[in-house]
Amino acid sequence: MFRSLDSLLHSQVRLAIMTILLNVKSAEFSYLLKNIDTSKGNLSFQITKLKEGGYIKVKKSFRKNYPLTTLSITPKGIDAYENYVEAISEYFQKSRKL
């Protein structure tokens, strides 16, 4: 039987955000935008989804009078990501046995 995949992470942009945040202490919006193939609007929308799910924290501040958005992954987000990777890995393992 196949495990359910976390629908919040089963999105290319949200998975990319989580993958980056898993490997850094925090990342600025501009860094994510530069490293993920998406628009500002879509990135902002996907960040909101992850924040609402409790997977990331979003800090809004200013740097030299310009808005600065910094993101970091939460313990809940780390657990969800690890479970997602484990579940998707099982799909690949089962495909080799078919």
pLDDT at 3: 86
Query: How would residue 80 be classed by pLDDT, with cut points 50, 70 and 90?
Result: very high
pLDDT at 40: 97
Cβ burial of 95 (10 Å; 0-12, 13-18, 19+) is: exposed
Sign of CA dihedral 66, 20, 41, 51: negative
Residues in the chain: 98
C-alpha–C-alpha distance, residues 32 and 79, integer Å:
21
Which stretches of 14-90 are assigned E, i.e. beta strand?
Answer: 27-28, 56-63, 66-73
pLDDT at 98: 64
Is the distance from CB of 32 to CB of 20 less than 8 angstroms?
yes
* Per-domain residue ranges of the chain: 12-97
pLDDT single digits (tens) 20-77:
999 999 999 999 999 999 999 999 999 999 999 999 999 999 999 999 999 999 999 9
Cβ burial of 32 (10 Å; 0-12, 13-18, 19+) is: buried
Confidence (pTM): 0.91
pLDDT at 94: 83
CATH of 12-97, one of 3.90.1150.10, 1.10.10.10, 3.30.1050.10, 1.10.260.40: 1.10.10.10
